[in-house]
Structure 1
Amino acid sequence: MHLELIALIVAEYDPAIDFFVNVLGFDLVEDVPSTTNDGRPKRWVVVRPPGARTGILLAQADGERQAAAVGDQVAGRVGFFLRVDDFDSAYARMTAAGVEFVTVPRDEAYGRIAVFLDIAGNRWDLLGPSSPSGASAG
């Protein structure tokens, strides 16, 4: 058993695809036409980190309730966790690409961490191995 997909509500498909693929480096796994339960057109869009089994279904908000959840899927908490092998390289690449980090990198018992916002404003942890010195950056 494994977790196949999680849904992330986004305002629009194409900017979300651009963020996850061109900024974070995810693979675009699927982008196909689909329909809503009541027959309106939509897209089935799945992105996934390279080599991962679990993907993110980018679901364009449909209606006021869903639009209100864009950027607040987990009520302001960090709700998504992106683990990388080379934290410093990923942090530098993401910063250069304009990703907004809301904390500076720091070391915790479980590794190096910094909180960033996705295109919708959801909070993510960028996680990596502890720095060799174990000292916090700032």
Structure 2
Amino acid sequence: MSHRLAHIALVVRDYDEAIRFYVDVLGFRLLEDIHQPEQDKRWVLVQPSGGGASILLARAANDIQRAAIGAQSGGRVFLFLDTDDLSADLDRLRENGVRIVREPKTADYGTVAVFEDLYGNLWDLIERPGAG
């Protein structure tokens, strides 16, 4: 039996603002944007340029879901994004007004910085040894 992680659902306020952030700012690819009129929602998948699991941008549909926007992990780093050029990525994030929560530091697994997405979710941006 073989398994792989296909998608991670991320609760968002608005589909289009989330697409703009993940595609235009983070450089993800928009894989699918399918309107589902019977449910008044869209199936929106974005994926990092290097592949891997995709993120389902799931618009909050009620008060409980709206309360989870930006807080799905209770304030801990929620998602981990590998890069082959941490410095260039940080420059691009800063140019786009993204808040860098923690400047780069070296760890056993590579150099890591923490940034906040448009909803307040925390991300590790990691350049692994030999990746740059």
* TM-score (ref. length: structure 2): 0.92
Does the C-alpha gap of structure 1 residues 78 and 96 become closer, same or farther in structure 2, counting only changes over 3 Å?
Answer: same
Q: Which amino acid aligns with 1:115?
A: V
The answer to whether structure 1 residue 26 and structure 2 residue 65 are counterparts is: no
Aligned partners of 1:86 and 1:129 also within 8 Å: no
Structure 1 stretches of at least 4 aligned residues deviating more than 6 Å after TM superposition: none
Q: What is the alpha-carbon distance in structure 2 between the residues aligned to residue 65 and residue 28 of structure 1?
A: 27
The aligned length equals 128
Residue of structure 2 equivalent to 1:2: 4
Residue of structure 1 equivalent to 2:83: 84
Identity over aligned pairs, percent:
45
Q: Secondary structure at the match of 1:114?
A: strand
Q: What is the alpha-carbon distance in structure 2 between the residues aligned to residue 130 and residue 98 of structure 1?
A: 27
Q: Deviations over 1:14-37 (max 9, x none)?
A: 0100000000000000001115xx
* TM-score (ref. length: structure 1): 0.88
Aligned partners of 1:20 and 1:26 also within 8 Å: yes
Please, which runs of 5 or more residues in structure 2 have no aligned partner? Answer: none
Query: Within 5 A, what are the aligned runs for 1:13-92?
Result: 13-35=15-37, 39-92=38-91
Q: What is the alpha-carbon distance in structure 2 between the residues aligned to residue 6 and residue 58 of structure 1?
A: 9
Q: If each structure's strand is expressed as a fraction of its own residues, which one has the higher value?
A: 2
Please, which runs of 5 or more residues in structure 1 have no aligned partner? Answer: 132-138
Q: What is the alpha-carbon distance in structure 2 between the residues aligned to residue 106 and residue 29 of structure 1?
A: 32
Q: What is the alpha-carbon distance in structure 1 between the residues aligned to residue 126 and residue 96 of structure 2?
A: 18
Q: Deviations over 1:80-115 (max 9, x none)?
A: 001001111111111111111111111111111111
Residue of structure 2 equivalent to 1:134: none
Q: Which amino acid aligns with 1:82?
A: L
Residue of structure 2 equivalent to 1:113: 112
Residue of structure 2 equivalent to 1:135: none
Deviation at 1:44, TM superposition (A): 0.4
Bigger radius of gyration, 1 or 2? 1
Q: Secondary structure at the match of 1:22?
A: helix
Q: What is the alpha-carbon distance in structure 2 between the residues aligned to residue 54 and residue 63 of structure 1?
A: 26
